[in-house]
Homo-oligomer: A and B are copies of this chain.
Amino acid sequence: MNPPFNLDSFDLKGYLNERAKLVEEWLEANLPTPVGPHAPLIEAMRYSALSGGKRIRPILLMAAVDAVGGNGPQYIAAASAIECIHTYSLIHDDLPAMDDDDLRRGKPTCHKVFGEAMAVLAGDGLLNFAFEILSRTHLYPGVSDRIVLEVIRVIGEASGINGMVGGQAADVLMEGKEVDEKTLNFIHTHKTGALIRASLRSGALLGGGMGEKVEALTQFGYFLGLLFQIKDDLLDIEGDEKVVGKRLGKDAKMKKATYPSIYGIEATKEKAKSLLEQSLNLLSDFGKEADPLRAIAQYVVNRTR
């Protein structure tokens, strides 16, 4: 049972722009300034972290804070840390030894501009920077040290071998091979899903959410992560390269296993529809404060980039 809510009355585009701008401004102000003998490294980090992007993970973290009755933008530092982790993963995934991408968000990838060595280190730098930010307790007023530590653990696990890194490894290892549903699920839930789930869980914890609500938002994050990946796979087949801002059709070329390649396009769209419904059901005990999350889930399925 979904609660009554009217998407039309909610200006999602304005909301997303406003929240993305907060992330943009925080990163702009808090990423180090490129001075010293390692200046190009910092330039590379800034180049990738400030090159636009949907900022969906940090927006989700803040939206989860709001959903449990907190004030999302108060946790902009933690939200931006998540975006740094996401950016680091993109930089490393784009490397020639990995997906070998030369275009990202419509711009040349980090290693294309700064070289491979700087790209590896810029990724490393952003990952470390994220944990530095997360451990600066003064950035989380009113949050207990115990909760800050729990958030670090949630995010560390989500971005590590039992999360994003593990998923990316499996993805690389399976390229060109026959992949069964179990493995495909592993890749999706780990590579994209883990950090999205962690964004929701971290926001719920930082916002002071309790037991069941934290679990509901975590599970919502799980479904949303799957939706995200499935939609990415569909866009890789049906999207417009100019709109999406990166090379498309790569999955088929690389013979990557995707939902559409295993189940076909129509069944995949059905799966997306059913996942959306389940996600919305998870929010049935939440009030209007969770409307942005509801709207985002719909947006993920309907987006064109």
Residues of A within 8 A of B (CB): 32, 36-38, 40-42, 45, 88, 92, 95, 97-98, 115-118, 120-121, 123-125, 127-129, 131-132, 134-137, 144-146, 148-150, 152-153, 156-157, 159-163, 165-170, 172-174, 183, 186-187, 190
**Does A146 contact B153, Cβ atoms closer than 8 Å?**
no
* Docked pose: A162 CA to B127 CA in angstroms: 13
* Docked pose: A120 CA to B149 CA in angstroms: 27
Residue A148 contacts which of B134, B149, B157, B163 (CB distance < 8 angstroms)? Answer: B149
What is the minimal beta-carbon distance from A6 to any residue of chain B, in angstroms?
A: 41
**Does A165 contact B128, Cβ atoms closer than 8 Å?**
yes
* Closest Cβ neighbor of A154 among chain B residues: B135
- 26 A-B residue contacts at CB 8 Å? A36-B166, A36-B186, A37-B187, A38-B161, A38-B167, A38-B190, A40-B173, A41-B166, A41-B169, A95-B117, A98-B117, A120-B120, A121-B165, A121-B168, A121-B172, A124-B127, A124-B165, A125-B165, A125-B166, A125-B169, A129-B161, A131-B131, A131-B156, A145-B145, A145-B146, A149-B149
